[in-house]
A and B are shown apart, each in its own frame.
Chain A
Amino acid sequence: MIIEVEGLRRTFRVSEKAGRFRRSHREVVAVQDVSFTVPEGETLGYVGPNGAGKSTTIKMLTGILVPTAGRVRVCGLDPSRQRKKLARRLGVVFGQRTQLWWDLPLLDSFELLRDIYRVGQTQYRERLDECTELLGLAEFLSTPVRQLSLGQRMRGEITAALLHDPRLLVLDEPTIGLDLESKARLRSFLAELNRTKGTTLLLTTHDLDDIEQLCRRLMVIDHGRVLADGELAGLRGSVAAERTLTVDLQEPADLSGIPGVTAIKADGPRVHLEFLPSEVSAAQLITAVAARAEIRDLAVGEASIEEVIRRLYDLRPAPQA
């Protein structure tokens, strides 16, 4: 297991003005009772609404924050106590921060990082050439970081995080603010990285397309607690989300009364049927429809990931005040 987390908790003491001179203190629970493990080579998406505790979790995994309670092991190390050792095995990208030097050309930042991580010259060249090609860095390698566009900078950040060839890459909102094309490029780069090198990916995002295209596994967190954790397909099943069957009929026909079907929408000769996979399989349903009318064409669709997550939120226990 490359990540092992058990009973993780983090609180923040915040003070607020109460009256003219008095200040009142309050404990904000950012993360509570979070437990999970991640095997090598996994691609895990970590999602949840604003303030859910995603970044706080990541900061504890990377050794930036000390947990209030709980046990964390990343690459077999205790992040906050063995921070420097862990840093050599870990790549971290913050979408909202930079780990490059504003006033230096991108290439100088890379060279500084090469020295900091003590990357050998051959490995450095190899990694840099590879990233330069796949991410298209060549045209702005000698531009100072502060002059780069967000998308260009993000490609630089990813390269910076990969120069030392980490086993685990942690990304906090890597696609934030990027346009569609940049997002697509980044995703395919990361997918490729996972596929060819087996690098474990853990990423937070608000863009569910990232999850759909990049992550085998999804973890949903809200109010600091994990609501769901599992393979995307399994989660779809667990919230009993309907699938849809769309059929184009030769002639209009009455399709009502098929068991397992929860809604029917007719649109001329095209009919959309929503059905519960737990009660009727797609094959059974198609057979039932075919018995009533001649089918010209058909398509079976999944519940969208938004739908799945929305249902997960609906199922959550009401947060304690």
Chain B
Amino acid sequence: MADTLRVYAGILHARWRIAMSYRTSFAFEITGQAIGQLTEVVVIALLFTRIRSMGGFDVTAVLLMYGFSAACFGLADTVVGQVEKLPQLIRSGELDAMLIRPLGLLPQLCLLDIQLRRLGRLLSGLLILGVAAHRAPIDWTWDRFLLVGLCTVTGAVIFSAIFVAACSISFWVVEGSELANAVTYGGTAFASYPLTIYDRILRRLMAYVLPGAFISYYPTVTLLGIRDPLGLPGWFGWLGPVVALLSCLVAGLIWRTAVRRYRGTGS
């Protein structure tokens, strides 16, 4: 186990060296990614000069939700974002090359071509979360600090599980990437805004099937101590780890089944 981790650390180090050998373009890419993200925050801020609340939440809460979502997405995207390349790797046969190496397929997918420029979104996401949390009227006791840290990690894990599960479909239909994209990007959009602005069916889907609500909605509600317009108890925000664990189990099961279905290409 420790050995395997060392291998991964070695690979990460190698990728970092490569990124550093193109320092300037790396810096530009990171900045570009970050700016893209920050623009959305500006849009939200501008929106709130016209409206007072969104789905029953004020600007502080909405920005906090957006912050959670952005930070978790950034983290998940940096770590497992490469799974969206799966259809391409299957078609080109590169997956065959990965399968003859003594490492798990998923870690290889994630690490061997890790896109360090995605750190841009992660950094801006953390920045947004930090600023939103700082501006919110929160009494910073230690359990609230813990909640923010915990939710950032579990949210990222939940996002990652959704990405992996959605991309598994490529093993059945190589053209499945559109559907996978719809799920991952749709999930992100959902997690970025208050759940209450969506209609009932979508809301249920996000709350129970794809556990997107546990990424930003419940943590924010719990953190701000607001009474949940949906009527769920305040401690729901603390369920993140359990939900994250369950998501991982389900996603892992789907992924394993999918890999055994791998059929390669005919040439």
Residues of A within 8 A of B (CB): 12, 59, 62-66, 80, 83-85, 87-88, 90, 92, 94, 96-99, 101, 103-104, 108, 111-112, 115-118
Alpha-carbon separation in the docked complex, A320 to B10 (Å): 53
Residues of B within 8 A of A (CB): 3, 7, 10-11, 14, 18, 93-94, 96-97, 99-104, 112, 260, 262-264, 266-267
Q: Does A116 lie within 8 Å of B11, measured CB to CB?
A: yes
Alpha-carbon separation in the docked complex, A115 to B8 (Å): 9
Q: Does B264 lie within 8 Å of A88, measured CB to CB?
A: no
Chain B residues closer than 8 Å to A111, beta-carbon distance: 14
Given known pairs A12-B263, A65-B263, A66-B260, the reply for A92 and B11 (CB within 8 Å) is no
Alpha-carbon separation in the docked complex, A245 to B175 (Å): 60
Q: Does A63 lie within 8 Å of B97, measured CB to CB?
A: no
Given known pairs A104-B18, A115-B7, the reply for A84 and B102 (CB within 8 Å) is yes
- List 4 A-B pairs, minimum CB-CB distance, nearest first: A99-B97, A87-B102, A115-B10, A92-B100
Chain A residues closer than 8 Å to B263, beta-carbon distance: 12, 65
Chain B residues closer than 8 Å to A90, beta-carbon distance: 100
Alpha-carbon separation in the docked complex, A116 to B97 (Å): 13
Chain A residues closer than 8 Å to B103, beta-carbon distance: 84, 116
Alpha-carbon separation in the docked complex, A108 to B19 (Å): 13
Q: Does A97 lie within 8 Å of B7, measured CB to CB?
A: no
Q: Does B102 lie within 8 Å of A85, measured CB to CB?
A: yes
Q: Does B264 lie within 8 Å of A64, measured CB to CB?
A: yes
Q: Does A116 lie within 8 Å of B260, measured CB to CB?
A: no
Q: Does B100 lie within 8 Å of A87, measured CB to CB?
A: yes
Given known pairs A63-B100, A88-B102, the reply for A112 and B260 (CB within 8 Å) is no
Alpha-carbon separation in the docked complex, A148 to B259 (Å): 32
Alpha-carbon separation in the docked complex, A65 to B265 (Å): 11
Closest residue of A by beta carbon distance from B92? A97
In the assembled complex, the CB of B171 is this many whole angstroms from the nearest CB of chain A, namely 12
Q: Does A116 lie within 8 Å of B101, measured CB to CB?
A: yes
Q: Does B100 lie within 8 Å of A112, measured CB to CB?
A: no
Closest residue of B by beta carbon distance from A157? B97
Interface residue from A12, A62, A66 paired with B100 (Cβ < 8 Å): A62
Alpha-carbon separation in the docked complex, A97 to B101 (Å): 14
Q: Does A64 lie within 8 Å of B96, measured CB to CB?
A: yes
Given known pairs A96-B267, A97-B93, A116-B7, the reply for A63 and B102 (CB within 8 Å) is no
Inter-chain pairs besides A64-B96, A97-B97, 19 sampled, C-beta below 8 Å? A12-B266, A62-B99, A63-B99, A64-B100, A66-B262, A80-B260, A87-B102, A94-B93, A94-B96, A94-B97, A96-B93, A98-B97, A101-B112, A103-B18, A111-B14, A115-B11, A116-B7, A116-B11, A118-B3
Chain A residues closer than 8 Å to B11, beta-carbon distance: 112, 115-116
